[in-house]
Amino acid sequence: MTELKIGVIGIPGKWSTEAIADALEARTGFRLVIDMAEVSLDLGTGALVYRGQDLCQLDGLVIKKISEVYSYHALDRLEMLRVAEAKGVKIYSRPEAILRLMDRLACTVTLANAAIPMPPTTITEDETAALQAVQAYGSAVFKPLFSTKARGMCLISASDADAAGQIAAFKADNPVMYVQAKRELSGQDLGMVFLGGDYVCTYARVKQDETSWNTTILSGGKYEAFEPDAALIDLGRRAQAPFGLTFTTVDVALTDSGPIVFEVSAFGGYRGVKEGCGIDAAARVADHVVAGVSA
């Protein structure tokens, strides 16, 4: 037991948030789950306060979840946390690292610049260009720039008689359209898990509902174990390296033309690691954070 005070930024009551809070409490005797909706920043005094606790006085913070739903508003919450970091609070993962991942386009551009194989992708505000991309790809997944677990995504095919109308409807809520060629995933995709840049394990998300076009757990997918070869692990390691995250999952799919990366997660999935790999991710992260704060 240490005397370290390490708080958890997350969603109170959510399993993964409570799991890392439990793991840290077991190692330090201190427990604080922080809902950023209740945090106030006073730039005059430099205080970042949650329910009377100045977060700048803590030894460390773990960001498990910055918001229930991804949006550009979540970026403001990360900016607030940079004040605590500037005052010496060690934060896992660093707010600046997460900022580069919350926006899907920022993640994609970083992966492309690192020469990581991805599905063909078009970014545009032009509905005609988006339709041309769909026609070139055959079918495409339209993805909001801020979303998780396939929320807000839709599949549009060149054969759809109302493809142009579907594109217009998507653009109404998403002025910048992220259009990605649909690839056959053989009913599964992979989550490759890394802690501090080191490989931990890989789990598969396996589709259970044949009517669904994606494998997410929200769409009925199921976690299973998966053993990747050395080349696949190296791909995952290279994909996550530019971001400098504490704990992350790299989303990979195996296709006929080779593996492709969809994205790198800003926060990683504890449940997938537990149910797919049989590993307590919260315990692993807590040990890593306590060692880092103590150093």
Is 121-181 a CATH 3.30.1490.20 domain?
A: yes
Each residue's pLDDT tens digit, 78-106: 999 999 999 999 999 999 999 988 899 99
86's enclosing H/E stretch is: helix 72-86
Tokens of 219: 């769409």
Q: Which CATH number fits domain 6-101+284-294: 3.40.630.40, 3.90.1150.10, 3.40.50.20, 1.10.287.70?
A: 3.40.50.20
Q: Return the CATH class of domain 184-279.
A: alpha beta
**Domain boundaries of the chain, sorted by first residue:** 6-101+284-294, 121-181, 184-279
What's the gap between Cα 52 and its chain centre?
30
Backbone angles phi, psi at 151, to 5 degrees: -65, 135
Beta pairing, strands 247-255 & 188-195: antiparallel
Cα separation, 189 vs 159, whole angstroms: 25
- pTM here? 0.91
Each residue's pLDDT tens digit, 213-257: 445 555 457 999 999 999 999 999 999 999 999 999 999 999 988
Q: Please give the chain's pLDDT, 295 residues, in tens.
A: 779 999 999 999 999 999 999 999 999 999 999 999 999 999 999 999 999 999 999 999 999 999 988 778 899 999 999 999 999 999 999 999 999 888 999 999 999 999 999 999 999 999 999 999 999 999 999 999 998 778 899 999 999 999 999 999 999 999 999 999 998 777 789 999 999 999 999 999 997 665 554 455 554 579 999 999 999 999 999 999 999 999 999 999 999 889 999 999 999 989 999 999 999 999 999 999 999 999 9
